[in-house]
Amino acid sequence: MGKNVAILGATGAVGAELIDLLAEREFPVDDIRLLASARSAGRKLEVLGREVTVQEVSEEALADVDVAFFSAGSDVSLQWAPVAARQGAVVIDNSNAFRMDPKVPLVVPEINASDLADHQGIIANPNCSTIIMAVALFPIHQVASIERVVVSTYQAVSGVGAAAIEELTRQTEAVLSGQEVPMTCFPGKSSKRHLQMAFNLIPHIDVFLDGGYTKEETKMINETRKILHEPELRITVTTVRVPVLRSHSESINLELKRSLSVSEVQEILQRAPGVVVADDPAQQIYPMPLDVTGKDDVYVGRIRVDESVPHGLNLWVVGDQIRKGAALNAVQIAEHLL
């Protein structure tokens, strides 16, 4: 039995990946509806061998939908997810709108698929950096109980959206040819001041909140606690945008309840779903964003015991931001619901 599927935000970077993944994973699609803002309506996209015209989102367009993937930002989700859910759809929402809502499951299927049982029509897909970290941490947490996390991220520009991927390319060309550098996307489209990302680092992702932390940093803290069912987990985060097109990387320091050797961690992660261990320094095997782009799994390497603290561990974790960090995780949630 095929499902009626809607994708809201179909013309964005995550929307395009969702379209590809439905085909690639042979998701049982009956009707497919592509939805977007009025601006993108009328565009035609090839989906599962059919030519589909993008429609403007509306109550009617969300009627008779079984699964609705939302990836058009928090404001759009706040407005339209309840409309879709009220009409019987299960909304899998990639925005921040509902993630910390206690009535909404926040799910990484490898970790807490059982939370899906409690859904009330809306399921939240976690932040990309959170998913990538959580997939790597959960198997270790099960065995040796993580007591503290210190993470610094190296986040690709894909997280800002399709226009940002294009702008990094344009900026880089402009720098190399000595032209004026176009600046409209970084750190965010609505930022007061726009910055050069090419050959630069920007330690500012999403807006600043109290205490000098960004919203991105706060998301990683709160969402990781919710996904792992560890509301008191001690975790501190610094998020940084880097001139990489897609795939996020994370330098993660852990304090565990008991010591694990490097080979024990490798074995734990090799057995874990969704994780690939890429950790053979002598052969220059370690995860790099260029290699991980387009891959489904989260790659872990540079596994080292940290002697500066009891039961310490360092990891280097890389995952495709658009794929496992967003679209793939959403499709996996839908597959679990079937």
Active site residues: 128, 248
Determine the straight-line distance between the first and last CA of the chain, rounded to whole angstroms: 10
Binding segment for a copy of itself (CB under 8 A), chosen from 32-40, 81-89, 97-105, 188-196, is 188-196
Q: How far apart are CA 112 and CA 106, in angstroms?
A: 8
Residue 191 contacts a copy of itself per CB under 8 A: yes
Candidates 24, 30, 199, 229: give the one binding a copy of itself (CB under 8 A). 199
Q: How far apart are CA 141 and CA 99, in angstroms?
A: 22
Closest separation in Å from C-beta 247 to a copy of itself: 9
Q: How far apart are CA 52 and CA 32, in angstroms?
A: 8
Environment class of residue 162 by beta-carbon count within 10 Å: exposed (0-12), middle (13-18) or buried (19+)?
middle
Candidates 15, 109, 289, 319: give the one binding a copy of itself (CB under 8 A). 289
DSSP-assigned letter for residue 97: S
- Toward a copy of itself, which CB reaches closer, 66 or 216? 216
Phi-psi region of 224 (alpha: psi -120 to 50; beta: other; left: phi over 0): alpha
Candidates 126, 161, 187, 325: give the one binding a copy of itself (CB under 8 A). 187
Candidates 302, 311, 335, 336: give the one binding a copy of itself (CB under 8 A). 302
Q: How far apart are CA 10 and CA 20, in angstroms?
A: 11
Residue 190 contacts a copy of itself per CB under 8 A: no
Residue 253 contacts a copy of itself per CB under 8 A: yes
Written as six digits, the tokens of 37 are 């803002």
- Toward a copy of itself, which CB reaches closer, 109 or 287? 287
Q: How far apart are CA 39 and CA 53, in angstroms?
A: 13
Query: Is there a contact between 156 and 245 (Cβ–Cβ < 8 Å)?
Result: yes
Overall size of the chain counted in residues: 338
Beta bridge partners, 237, equal 151
Q: How far apart are CA 80 and CA 164, in angstroms?
A: 25
- Toward a copy of itself, which CB reaches closer, 122 or 244? 244
Binding segment for a copy of itself (CB under 8 A), chosen from 35-43, 125-133, 239-247, 319-327, is 239-247
Closest separation in Å from C-beta 294 to a copy of itself: 14
Residue 208 contacts a copy of itself per CB under 8 A: yes
Contact residues for a copy of itself, defined by CB under 8 A: 148-150, 152, 154, 169, 172-173, 176, 187, 191-193, 195-196, 199-204, 208, 211-213, 234-236, 238, 240, 242-245, 249, 251, 253, 262, 279, 281-284, 286-290, 301-309, 312, 314, 316, 318
